[in-house]
Structure 1
Amino acid sequence: MRQYKQLLLANKAWAAEIIEESADFFQRQLVGQNPEFLWIGCSDSRVGPEQMTMTPPGNMFIHRNIANLVKDDDTNLMSVLQYAVDVLGVRHIIICGHYACGGIRATLDGGTTGPVDDWLSTARCVLHDHADEIDAQPDREQKVNRLVEVNVRDQLVRLARTKTIQGRSRVGKKCCSTAGSTTSATG
């Protein structure tokens, strides 16, 4: 069976199971969302936020990009952040990186071109800022994983400097708590 057909069948089975467990589930979802969390994570297909956290629908607003970068010129992320903070009133923002990240590995290895190369410029700045610490790691895997960790920390700093977060601080409103984490991409 073609994989896309399997996805469609799995979706139908999931919907039927949900309705069997809770007949009004989809009606409740139409009322709106009230998530407590904004998750900014990597696009890696091995790192599914809802699956990793066992979060039910409606509890997490999600933005994903290669290497979980916070770039103030990324209109997509900035609109997600603004909507999450100003409209949804999220209470917590999580930036989650993961070990063995392909974007971080590409940052270390170089050789990227086109949009991916442009995108990774922010990660290359993190690498440059922490070069001594990264270079001190004993092997390539540990270099990648340490860059994953310092990248999460630096993205939290970048997040704190965004207009949305700064604007909430200026008007005296507590925005939300922020946290960084790293996880294994394979378990």
Structure 2
Amino acid sequence: MIFSTPAPYSENRLSEMLARNAQWAGQITAQDPDYFKRLSAGQSPAFTVISCCDSRADPNTLLQSNLGELFVYKNVANQAGLNDLSLQTAIQFSIDSLKVKHILVFGHHNCGGVRIALGLHAGGAPGDWLEGVRELAHDHQLFNPASPEQANRNVDKLCELNVIQQVRLAALSPSVNAAWGRGEPVAVGGLVYSLSTGRVIDLDCTIRSRAEIDERCFSAMKAICARYQ
């Protein structure tokens, strides 16, 4: 299959996409007449994924997942805030109703939200949503880079550190802790996608109990800092 970069927007783009959808649905049905009937009967995803809204970083495409395999929640800079009622509802639903056993925070390099938090995105203002990312940048002294090259490295470093920070928050969510309290084997981990290579990297921060949160997150952040020295 040959891939191309997205074409500029035009008035007929929606019609083109709908035509491609009809072609795709027809091909699937021709191969497996009951595929969509089975899919519509219910979902049983293997993972809950907290990802960024970036149009270039879709988890289903990058992980080559089948429909129904990932329960995906998206927001700017893949935040897992404990005060985000929408996210917390999604996590609770995925654990209690869908019986998902693995939550993944899925970040990516050169994230626009992270660039805004660092003041490197023209016209962007961080606002309250990205305050935690800015605090993380202050903690790791990522402001005022010496060169454009260093600025780009700082962005990617902060993208990875932010994933770990959000893994920590996801692991502190009430639904995850309630599941652990019931003895359910729920895991929380973090991945980062490299826009320049297409590869998804496991940040080795998987947490399986509340007692592991601080140690696993500290170890993962330490490894990131060593890699970006």
TM-score where L is the length of structure 2: 0.74
Two-structure CA RMSD over aligned residues (Å):
2.2
Which 10-residue stretch deviates more, 164-173 or 25-34?
164-173
Alpha-carbon displacement from aligned partner over 1:95-142 (angstroms, at most 9, x marks no partner): 1110111000111016634xx622112212222332269969970110
User: 1:157-176 counterparts in 2 under 5 A?
Assistant: 157-174=168-185, 176=186
Q: Does 1:112 align with 2:124?
A: yes
Give the drift of 1:94.
0.9
8 Å CA contact 1:67–1:101 kept in 2: the answer is: yes
User: Unaligned 5+ residue runs, structure 2?
Assistant: 1-10, 199-229
Q: Does 1:144 align with 2:148?
A: no
Q: Does 1:122 align with 2:129?
A: no
Partner residue in 2 for 1:51: 61
- Number of aligned residue pairs: 184
User: Unaligned 5+ residue runs, structure 1?
Assistant: none
**Percent of aligned pairs sharing the same letter:** 32
* Structure with larger RCO (C-alpha < 8 A, sep 6+): 1
Alpha-carbon displacement from aligned partner over 1:4-62 (angstroms, at most 9, x marks no partner): 11111111111111111111011001210111101111110001111111110111100
Which 10-residue stretch deviates more, 120-129 or 14-23?
120-129
8 Å CA contact 2:109–2:192 kept in 1: the answer is: yes
Q: Which stretches of structure 1, 4 residues or more, deviate above 3 A after TM superposition?
A: 110-113, 132-138
Q: Does 1:99 align with 2:109?
A: yes
Which residue type is aligned with residue 160 of structure 1? A
8 Å CA contact 1:37–1:91 kept in 2: the answer is: yes
Structure with greater proportional helix content: 1
- The match for 1:179 among 186, 189, 196 is 189
